[in-house]
Each structure stands twice: as C-alpha cells, then as structure tokens.
Amino acid sequence: MPDLRGTTNPGRGSDLLSRRQDLHPEATSQQTATFCVEPPRPVPEPAGEPVLLFERVSKWYGPVIGVNQVTLELRPGITGLVGANGAGKSTLMRLATGLARADLGRVPIRGQDARSLAARRQVGYCPEIDTFYEEMSGRQFVQSMARLCGYTRAEARWRTEAVLERVNLVAQAHRIVRGYSKGMRQRIKLAQALLHDPDLLVLDEPFSGIDPVGRQEMIALFLELAAQGKCLLISSHELEELEKLTDHVAIMARGRIAAVGCVAEIRERLQDHPFSIRIELSLDYPQAVRSLTPAVTFEEAGAPPPESPAMFHEEHATVKDGKVGPTLRRDRELAARLLTLPQVVAVELLEEDPTLPEGVGGVIVRARQPVPFFQALGRLVLEEWYDVRRMETLDETTSAVLGYLLGGSVAGLTRS
C-alpha cells in the first residue's frame, strides 16, 4: 500500500463519503449507500483536463524491459487497461502511484511528479498482490490506514465505516483478515484506497475473486465514482470485463501500448488478426461416401497412374466425360478450396509431418475474421465430405492477439 501519511486534508469536503453522512459526527440526515443490481451503461470516453500522463516512459528490471516507451494520458472517467499476464500492466500502475521510478520519461499527476507528496495525496491504489496485517480485523486494518493518512482517531473511525459501507463489507469487518476469502480481500483493499477521497484511483485487477453479485456492485460503484469526476485506471486481462465499465481502453503487450481507443474500434482490429488452425483429415473419402460412389482404380480404368503421385491419390481415378484422370489428394483438395475463401490468408500442407498417422494428411490454414471463417469451413466440410479427424488452434491466445496489434508477419503460402 502506498504511504499516505500527511497526504490528506481531513477538513476538506468529500464527495466520496457523502453517501454516508450519517456516520459523520456533524451529520444532520441519514443516507445509505445502495448498489444497482443491473449496472448502468458504461460511461463515455474520459474527457476534461488530463489527470495522469505517461510521457515516453520506460522501466526495466536488469535486462528485462517492463515498460517500453509508453505515452498515454488519463482524463476524468474510466480507462481500462487490458493485457496478458506479463504485459507490463502492474509495472505501469506502480509508476502511476509513484511506487516505482521511471528509468526514462515523465509521469506527472496534475503537473506534479508521481513520486512527490503532492501527487500521492491525489492517488488511491488497489494492488493486485495482497499486502495486509493479517492478524488485524478488516475494520482495524482500514482504520489503521486512515490514521496513516493523518486523520484524527475520531475521523478515522467514521471514514472507515463509510468506506466499509461503500464496498459492502460492514457485516464482515469484525473478522480477522487472515480468514478472508479472495473476494473479501479485494473489497478491503478497495476500501483503504477510497479512504482519503482521491482524484485518481489505480485499481489492479479489482474483480479478481469477486462473485457475480459483488462484481455488479463494484461496477456500479466505479461508474458512480466516474460520474463524480474521478479518474479511474482499471486493469484486467479480459476485454469483455472492462466493456461493462467503459468504452475507452488501452491494450498493452510486451511492455508497450498496442492500441488506445473505444472498444468497438479495437474489436474491429482484433477481427483482422490472423490466427492459425491445424486441420487433420483422412486422405480418402469416408466409408459411407465410398459405398455410394465406388472408387475406380487406374488399372480398372485402363489408364496409367499419375506421374506425380504425391500430388494425387495413388489409386483412385476420376472418370469425367469418358476420360480418365487423377484424383487430387484430399488434403491438397482442401487446401485449394480453402484458398478460395475470402478470410484465408495462407495455407500450408503437412506432407512430411511424422506425427500424422498413415492415411491422414493435414493443413495449417491462417485466416482472419473467425466467425465467418468457421461458418464457411463447416459448410465446406459437410458439402465436400471431408473426413476431418482433428482440428486445433495454434496461436489463439491473448498474447498472440495482442502481439498482432504491435505488428507481425504472416508465414505460409499466400493467396496469389
């Protein structure tokens, strides 16, 4: 947790805690925080003056580059940060909170260096890794954090109750932190981040371990904070998760910002990401088809076998218009048909793959737009009687998709 001693002026007004004025000694009315069962639509793209800036920031750990030449600005509202494990999200967030120093570049918060006391006063941080005094109760832990912020004992008490109510943890606040579930630990970390009513909230994987009901409650809370003018940076490795919160996301891969913009635009770019599929199929027709249309051998047809048997079926011939010709091997036939599909970028034949059983061929197809491609592939397999034995994706992972956004090459046999 960041050291927040002396970082907050206890006397200033608090939008964050206005929903729990009944807990303040001078409150005149009772108001209770409530959560929406169905959260409202995501807030629009952040607007207003930048709160947090990353200006060509780099951070490395020995030979490992954690963050590489990142330029990004955050305004009031919610910005989602998406990336696979190891992409650099947590390092970027530690830079934002002043817990790590940039090796290159600047990280100002409203014009103040992120490591300065003036900047830290404006930041609330919910780290991914748990950092607790395990022997304390949840209430004692949050209250201790409030005291470290510089609040008086009385003010620390009412602020603690306010944030516990805000994260819906009052009923379990008396329990020892050591016995908390993952979801409860997430809530207590969020509570301490909200104590001093920060302008900037940096939340690293806040939904991890949260049950569906608690997730909806948190989404509603984050949207409410954004509506109050707070700036929230929320990380996740799932784009779908952040779609419920915001239309504005930054995608991170290999320490760099790969894309920034609205979710719809980024999804459109992901649709164009080439992915690879390995298809294994029998080199012969299925038994049911062969029983309906018996194969004709070259010997039976009285014709010589093909000169390039590797290109064609070694035994079966095709009789068309009274002429005998070779039958293209089923794997080559499939490759040729796949190259006619508009989604296909490249096809590679697996002719010398030792892992293929006898009588089985294979192709690796590289395509874009997975939904229309798989629909077309399904029709092709059914209509042309391909005996597909196995099909698997080779690179359909978050890392591969995000890597594409940084630029990559397409290998294989491209369509002419």
**What CATH number should be reported for the domain holding residue 165?**
3.40.50.300
Tell me the average pLDDT across 18-35.
36
Q: Say if strands 123-126 and 112-113 run parallel, antiparallel, or are unpaired.
A: unpaired
Share of the chain above pLDDT 90, in %: 42
Least confident of 18-22, 195-199, 386-390, 397-401: 18-22
Q: Is the pLDDT of residue 78 over 80?
A: yes
Question: Is 41 a residue whose pLDDT tops 60?
Answer: no
φ, ψ at 366 (rounded to 5°): -115, 125
Domain count, the chain: 2
Domain of 283, CATH number, reads: 3.30.70.260
In this structure, the answer to whether residues 134 and 41 fall within a common structural domain is yes
CA–CA distance, 230 with 199 (Å, rounded to integer): 5
Q: Is the pLDDT assigned to residue 57 strictly greater than 60?
A: yes
Token pair 């371990």 is found at 209
- Judge if 258 and 180 occupy the same domain: yes
Distance CA(159)–CA(25), nearest Å, equals: 11
Confidence band, pLDDT 50/70/90 cuts, at residue 238: confident
- Judgement on whether residues 136 and 221 belong to the same structural domain of the protein: yes
Q: Where are the alpha helices (DSSP H) in 195-285?
A: 212-227, 239-243, 263-271
259 found inside a domain: yes
- Tell me the mean pLDDT in the region 393-402: 56
Structure tokens, 354: 């030792």
Average pLDDT over residues 175-189: 92
Q: The tokens of 1 are what?
A: 């947790």
For 66-94, what is the mean pLDDT?
92
pLDDT at position 68 is: 94
Looking at the structure, tell me whether residues 102 and 248 fall in a common domain: yes
Q: Please indicate, yes or no, if residue 23 is contained in any of the structural domains.
A: yes
Q: Is the pLDDT assigned to residue 112 strictly greater than 80?
A: yes
pLDDT of residue 401: 52
Q: Please check whether residue 13 lies inside any domain of the structure.
A: no
**Euclidean distance between CA atoms 227 and 121, whole angstroms:** 21
pTM of the model: 0.63
CA-nearest of 215, 255, 214 to 81 is 255
pLDDT at 54: 97
pLDDT of residue 244 exceeding 80, the answer is yes
For residue 308, tell me if it sits in a domain: no
Same domain, 220 and 349: no
Q: Give the number of other Cβ atoms within 10 Å of residue 48's Cβ.
A: 10
pLDDT (tens digit, 9 = 90+) per residue, 335-373? 888 998 999 999 998 877 888 888 888 999 999 888 889
CB–CB of 59/100 below 8 Å?
A: yes
Residue 111's pLDDT is 93
Range of the domain at 178: 18-269
270 vs 60, which has greater pLDDT? Answer: 60
Q: Residue 121: is its pLDDT beyond 50?
A: yes
Instruction: Answer yes or no: is pLDDT of 268 > 80.
Output: no
The residue that leads in pLDDT, 327 or 120, is 120
Residue 368's pLDDT is what?
86
Q: 232 lies in a domain? A: yes
Same domain flag for 234 and 282: no
Q: What is the mean pLDDT of residues 64-85?
A: 92
**Whether the predicted pLDDT of 250 surpasses 50:** yes
Residues 213 and 282 in one domain: no
User: Domain for residue 302, yes or no?
Assistant: no
Band the pLDDT of 203: cuts 50, 70, 90.
very high
pLDDT number for residue 153: 95
Last residue of a domain, one of 269, 302, 324: 269
Using the predicted structure, report yes or no on whether residue 325 has a pLDDT greater than 70: no
For the cut 90, the answer to whether the pLDDT of residue 318 exceeds it is no
Phi, psi of 184 (to 5 degrees): -65, -35
**What Cα–Cα distance (Å) separates residue 384 from each residue in 150, 277, 348, 370?**
75, 19, 20, 21
204 and 281 co-located in one domain: no
* Amino acid 159: pLDDT: 96
Residue predicted with more confidence, 85 or 140: 140
Residue at 205 is within a domain: yes
346 and 260, same structural domain? no
- What pLDDT is recorded for position 274? 80
Confidence of residue 42 (pLDDT cuts 50, 70, 90): low
Instruction: Express each pLDDT in 367-383 by its tens digit.
Output: 988 888 989 999 998 88
Q: Which amino acid is at 147?
A: R
Residue 124 lies in a domain: yes
Q: Which two tokens stand for residue 377?
A: 């592939």
Q: Which has the higher per-residue pLDDT, 82 or 8?
A: 82
Whether 106 contacts 53, CB under 8 Å: yes
Q: Are residues 260 and 224 in the same domain?
A: yes
- pLDDT number for residue 229: 93
Q: How many CA atoms lie within 13 A of 27 on its CB side?
A: 18
C-alpha–C-alpha distance, residues 46 and 232, integer Å: 10
Q: Which of the pair, 183 or 294, is modelled with greater confidence? A: 183
Give the type of residue at 52.
L
DSSP codes joined into one string, 147-183:
HHTT--HHHHHHHHHHHHHHTT-GGGTTSBGGG--HH
Residue 249 sits in the same domain as residue 396: no
- Give yes or no: residues 232 and 375 share one domain: no
